[in-house]
Chains A and B, each alone.
Chain A
């Protein structure tokens, strides 16, 4: 996939957040995303995933990080691998090769989701305006992952390794505009000033 074509790709949205927000909000550029399904008790499968991703196998509802890659526990038989956009097909091929002996599925879904970053001391309160999740310190920390809903949109929310107040929120791409607008509304500094 050539650079020129990538430049033509429609960004998830106009990624400039308006003024007056109580947190930092950004739409993230495309990244490699792989849906990986397999038997977590299958040593061959697990070692293939760890070798290709460089990440250690995450615990339940956790994400692990290694360089530009991160590996997310999505369900008892599903992982999500984040990495460099241009390497997605290579990652799929490498997984298929290394886990050839296992019943598994690895598929490139790098174009299927929108990702937003919400960061700042009030970020957890902004997300809790729509997600029925306890984001309090002590309940939700670095590397924690939660699949839930924001309003009625299915989302995944990860606290990244960057710092303890940075969340990445992802949803199916078609809901991106809606979720972006929702986040802008929920991150209004006036709706956060009296919280926390």
Chain B
């Protein structure tokens, strides 16, 4: 055990927690992360790297962790690639290591490493190109088996996830010293503030690096004071475990909240906040950098800040005997923390020639050996961890510096300097500039991301702004708060608390040791732990001409793993710059893209899964249809009965039964889904003359007309029956999926082109339940209702309509037919629909009444040669193409589509025209979409648009669009079925049944 006897601000030693890793049970404490608990149990090996399967241990204490990725949970709650450093420990937690086969300790993928000379940067690109067949059958299966981070879950996730919209004036990302001060100032100014912090604690590094005094108080006491003040403000919302994942355009910010990883049924597991904020203060702090040296990936080599985090926050010393390797003063803090905790330090290696100052002196005073101008030449150890290091002196100035002393140790703390977390600043266009002195990219205040008014809306504060000293951090936070508030017309002063802290000496940027060494020095010097990218890989990329940072990134995969290069990018770019002999700014940096850390797929879906996946529209008869064993099909968002199954009847017999009912008795169709739009006003007729290809202004009140609607390209977009209710008012029916679209289309023209027309529209689709009562017995059935409406052919002829009453139910009855039979469409206010439908069913029992579904409807209309917009049309088809020139007015000066129909392409010979197809084998039903071949078989001349077996005609029928089809009547065409077979069909009229319309007109 490496748990310290005391200390650990976050853990509760009275609450032991047991958990499992790779099947073995361990103990930790409440407040531990999975990483701190594993370290406390002395477990160093927690994962394998992606490419070489090298043994890896925990490197960091936060979201930047590249190595310690595990599978969390099992079965349906299994989640891959979870960073152990971000998993709060809970009772019963189960985790397994990933990217190892067959086990973490004995991973055969390590053979990759033995063969690593074969795997330089770009190896995959260079090797697996040829032969193609080998890729599919040899390379890919083998690579897939060995490669990959984690395993995708195979069962549906039982947890819930959600989105939450929120609005604020100032969103502050990061609850460290800078974030707390900015929040306090914004809160006191009266702004609506959201303060979010990705960990479960406020205070940031102040909780660990507490050597500064703020306003005369200890850093920890100052933090506590801010938290108490903020919690008392109604206008400030604080959310912990919530990461500001992304800052998008115009203040749209995405927050990722992890609520309940223990899955105890306490509501949504993750919550994705969709926040619209006026200003963002990015107080996201910094990430410490590793240093590239031979063996810097051996378990036990960690970031120095993480080492002291584990000591102070969780009471864990990652090693019993630690070496600190630092480029500046900051690493000495780790030495002091370990020393204060009673642990042994073999040495502090400092790249600087003459380290001086308070922190250095304190370390020396503690009796710890400080070795100036010294780096790590080699780490000795293996999967069990570090056992020693060999130092290398910078004083020699030689390329391949000889290895000096061997120092036994089991932990190496790297302090390579700090990089501001500029992600939020950069996501929507903020620029960064290179600070050579501090060796970091910091936000360029002259190029902020801009909002809708063109003003900068993201303000970097504290560490995120490149400030390393607490006084400067607080000053920068005060300025950021002032800037954000003044942008929204509020004010605060820029005063900051007074900080008493030790003075620090300049750091000496160091990316690689030995500093003058060859990339082959000793062995591998890792930059990107997760993707196994080394210094040698970057130098190779530079040599091979990948000079652009974006190209070098893709060639080497630097920064392309799930950690997105949080530890590796800056180091990699520095190595590239060095290799190219350029300065850092000349090389540039890659683009920071959201999200900051990976977020769960569940949180992206939110609650829109299962029955909430997509809205479904139901008619008022939906439950009745379901009770009658309807099989539903989607039509737009609607669910319509496709057919009604009796017993275990197969599809085709049930559809044929429904068709026969309409042709021989009477059937009921729920047509409530048809769009219904009221168009009213003195200019309504004039307007509809523009909307439809037909003349609508001449329609008489009380009459219906079938109309076609085109777009200005001349192509069909909708059709339906228009009824004139009175002089000023029309009721336009649209297709089932088209009501919203057509209503919006009408409004678009009225609002944007013909705003002088006096016309109002209203979408009344859902006001009415509408049923087709179709078949020879239809009139007989309706005449059984009480009411004074004369339904005779003389009183209510085909294409007429009337308002009336059926058994006390208010109805509007249309004489229209889509089946070719005697047909009435009856509309009643939606709430009365079930009553009307039930009455039709019970009164018509002896007449053979019953429901029919959309498939029967389609066969019935195809027998009659009626088109369906979307089947016979595909957005390139004109009314003339489908033989409906009769519906295109020649008298109107203009209508939508008129001018386009005169274009040469729409009037040329050879356009596809609608025809019928009768297969020579009447049982053979052509496949939908099958192509008709030209006589010489060299090309397709058209395709099948609708195809059915007609039980009425007892043969196959099809409609098709064929080039010049109208002139090919009687010719036999070859229709391709698949690669090896074809069918013969004779071109015919598309009207297969009752061509003169006698059946519907009675």
Q: List residues of chain A with CB under 8 Å of any chain B CB.
A: 1-2, 4-6, 8-10, 30, 35, 37-38, 77, 103-105, 107-113, 125, 128-134, 136, 139, 151-153, 172-179, 181-182, 185-186, 188-191, 193-195
Contacts and interface: CB of A to CB of B under 8 A. Distances in A.
B760 A77 contact: yes
Contacts, number: 146
B162 A151 contact: no
Contacts of A111: 766-768, 829-832
Given A128-B165, A188-B267, A178 B764 contact: no
A129 B760 CA distance: 34
A172 B766 contact: yes
Contacts of B638: 174
B978 to A, nearest CB: 39
Given A108-B767, A134-B167, A190-B266, A175 B830 contact: no
A172 B620 CA distance: 12
Contacts of A105: 678, 680-681, 760-762
Given A111-B767, A136-B167, A5 B162 contact: no
B162 A173 contact: no
A153 B165 contact: no
B614 interface: yes
A107 B808 contact: no
Tell me what chain B mostly uses at the interface: helix, strand, loop, or mixed. mixed
B725 to A, nearest CB: 10
Interface in B162-186: 162-167
The 8 closest A-B pairs by CB, nearest first: A190-B267, A9-B831, A174-B617, A111-B830, A105-B760, A112-B766, A134-B167, A37-B760
Given A9-B832, A191-B162, A107 B762 contact: yes
Given A151-B615, A174-B766, A186 B681 contact: no
A8 B678 contact: no
Contacts of A181: 611-612
Nearest to B611: A181
A5 B163 contact: no
18 contacts: A38-B760, A108-B829, A111-B829, A111-B830, A129-B163, A139-B167, A151-B615, A174-B766, A175-B617, A175-B637, A185-B612, A189-B267, A190-B266, A190-B267, A191-B162, A193-B267, A194-B267, A195-B164
A129 B612 contact: no
A111 B831 CA distance: 6
A194 B238 CA distance: 11
Contact of A182 (B612, B622, B680): B612
A5 B266 contact: no
B589 to A, nearest CB: 33
A37 B268 CA distance: 43
Contacts of A133: 165
Interface string B731-775: 000000000000000000000000000101110111110000000
A176 B618 CA distance: 8
Most chain B Cβ neighbours within 10 Å, of A174, A175, A189: A174
B762 A177 contact: no
Nearest to A125: B164
B620 A173 contact: yes
Contacts of B612: 151, 178, 181-182, 185
Interface string B260-271: 000001111000
Nearest to A152: B615
B808 A5 contact: yes
A104 B618 contact: no
Nearest to A196: B237
B885 to A, nearest CB: 34
A133 B620 CA distance: 30
B129 to A, nearest CB: 44
A75 to B, nearest CB: 10
B623 interface: yes
Interface of B: 160, 162-167, 192, 259, 265-268, 274, 276, 606-608, 611-612, 614-620, 622-623, 637-638, 678, 680-682, 758, 760-762, 764-768, 808-810, 829-835, 838
A17 B829 CA distance: 26
Contacts of B829: 1, 108, 110-111
Contacts of A152: 614-615
Nearest to B271: A191
Contact of B623 (A4, A9, A10, A113): A10
Contacts of A125: 164
Given A10-B620, A113-B766, A191-B160, A132 B165 contact: yes
Contacts of B761: 105
A15 to B, nearest CB: 14
Contacts of B619: 174
A129 B164 CA distance: 4
Contacts of B166: 128
Most chain A Cβ neighbours within 10 Å, of B612, B638, B833: B612
Contact of A5 (B160, B767, B835): B835
A186 B623 contact: no
Contacts of B163: 129-130
Given A113-B766, A136-B167, 14 more contacts: A2-B808, A9-B831, A103-B681, A105-B678, A110-B829, A111-B766, A111-B832, A129-B163, A129-B164, A129-B606, A152-B615, A175-B617, A185-B612, A191-B268
B690 to A, nearest CB: 18
Contacts of B162: 129, 186, 191
Contacts of B616: 177-178
A37 to B, nearest CB: 4
Nearest to B622: A177
A10 B830 CA distance: 9
A135 B612 CA distance: 23
Given A10-B620, A178-B615, A109 B762 contact: yes
A132 B272 CA distance: 13
Contacts of B192: 136
Contacts of B758: 103
A166 B809 CA distance: 35
B194 to A, nearest CB: 12
B607 A185 contact: yes
A128 B832 contact: no
A90 B761 CA distance: 21
B831 A37 contact: no
A153 B615 contact: yes
A189 B265 CA distance: 12
Contacts of A8: 832, 834-835, 838
B636 to A, nearest CB: 10
A9 B607 CA distance: 31
Contact of A35 (B762, B809, B835): B762
Contact of A129 (B165, B265, B617): B165
